[in-house]
Structure 1
Amino acid sequence: MSKSGCPYDHAPMEIFYKSFKTELIYLNKFENEEQLDVALNRYVYVWYNHIRPHTFNGGLTPFKAVNIS
């Protein structure tokens, strides 16, 4: 772990938020919080973890990368 205030501490979450906003938030309009909640859960638990390949783990999804080892 790095010292407090190091800009690399938040790098993984910043990458996630960039993908999240680019792939979900900016492309959709939500009428209410329930629609946002459904889309958020579908994005994180289905698309981001099980379908979308990630470059940091060799083009595998996080779900496949964890189940290989």
Structure 2
Amino acid sequence: MERFFRSLKTEWMPEHGYTSQGQAEADVLRYLTDYYNHQRPHGYNGYRTPAETESLAG
């Protein structure tokens, strides 16, 4: 979990933060559902995305 939050903070969040809670929630949701699960390769998964890894398992 700590690695996830580090990645979120260093790869995705704006340097000066968000202007509203709604903007932050929408952006973090987009990070999770689009970028983190479908675009960002993970070393633990053999440098595949979580979505790729899951599709191979099923």
TM-score by length of 1: 0.74
Q: 1:6 aligns to what?
A: none
Distance 2:37 2:15 in 1: 19
Mapping of 1:42-57 within 5 angstroms? 42-57=30-45
Runs of 4+ in 1 over 4 A off after TM superposition: none
Count of equivalent residues: 57
Deviation at 1:62, TM superposition (A): 0.3
Distance 1:16 1:67 in 2: 21
Identity over aligned residues, as a percent? 35
For structure 1, which runs of at least 5 residues remain unmatched after alignment?
Answer: 1-12
Tell me which structure has the larger Cα radius of gyration. Answer: 1
Tell whether 2:55 aligns with 1:67: yes
TM-score by length of 2: 0.86
Q: SS at the partner of 1:46?
A: helix
Which structure is richer in relative contact order (CA contacts within 8 A, separation 6 or more)?
2
C-alpha root-mean-square deviation of aligned residues, in Å? 1.4
Tell whether 2:12 aligns with 1:33: no
Distance 1:28 1:51 in 2: 24
For structure 2, which runs of at least 5 residues remain unmatched after alignment?
Answer: none
